[in-house]
Amino acid sequence: CRRTTARATPTPFPTPQRYHVPMTDLLLDATRALLGTLGGLVLALLSIASTRSLGRRLVPNDSRRFELASWAFYLFLAAAIYVVFALREAGWMRLELAGLVGYTALAWFGVRRPRLLALGWLLHAGWDAIVHADAPGTLVPDWYRWACLGYDFVAAVHLARLGAPRR
In tens, the pLDDT along 108-147 reads 999 999 999 999 999 999 988 888 888 887 888 888 888 9
Please, are residues 119 and 106 in contact by the beta-carbon 8 Å criterion?
yes
Compute the C-alpha angle 127/159/48, nearest 5°. Answer: 95
Q: Tell me: the pLDDT tens digits for 66-112? A: 999 999 999 999 999 999 999 988 889 999 999 999 999 999 999 99
List the end-to-end C-alpha distance of the chain, in Å, as a whole number: 103
CB 123 within 8 A of CB 143: no
pLDDT-derived band of residue 14, with 50, 70 and 90 as boundaries?
Answer: low
Residue 166 has pLDDT above 80, yes or no: no
What is the model's pLDDT at position 86?
A: 92
Q: What is the DSSP string of 17-28?
A: GG---HHHHHHH
pLDDT band, residue 17 (cuts 50/70/90): low
Check if the beta carbon of residue 152 is closer than 8 Å to that of residue 121.
yes
Mean pLDDT of the chain: 86
Tell me, what's the pLDDT at 20? 59
Q: Could you tell me the pLDDT band of residue 156, with boundaries at 50, 70 and 90?
A: very high
Cα separation, 164 vs 11, in Å, equals 68
What is the reported pLDDT for 31?
A: 83
pLDDT (tens digit per residue) in 36-73? 889 999 999 999 999 999 999 999 898 899 999 999 99
**CB-based contacts of 38, cutoff 8 Å, min separation 6:** 150
Q: Taken in order 90, 94, 99, 104, is the CA torsion positive or negative? A: positive
Percent of the chain whose predicted confidence (pLDDT) is above 70: 86
Q: Cα 137 to chain center, whole Å?
A: 13
- Give pLDDT, residue 32: 82
pLDDT for res 123? 96
Residue 78 and residue 67: Cα distance in Å, rounded? 16
Dist. CA 150–CA 153, nearest whole Å: 5
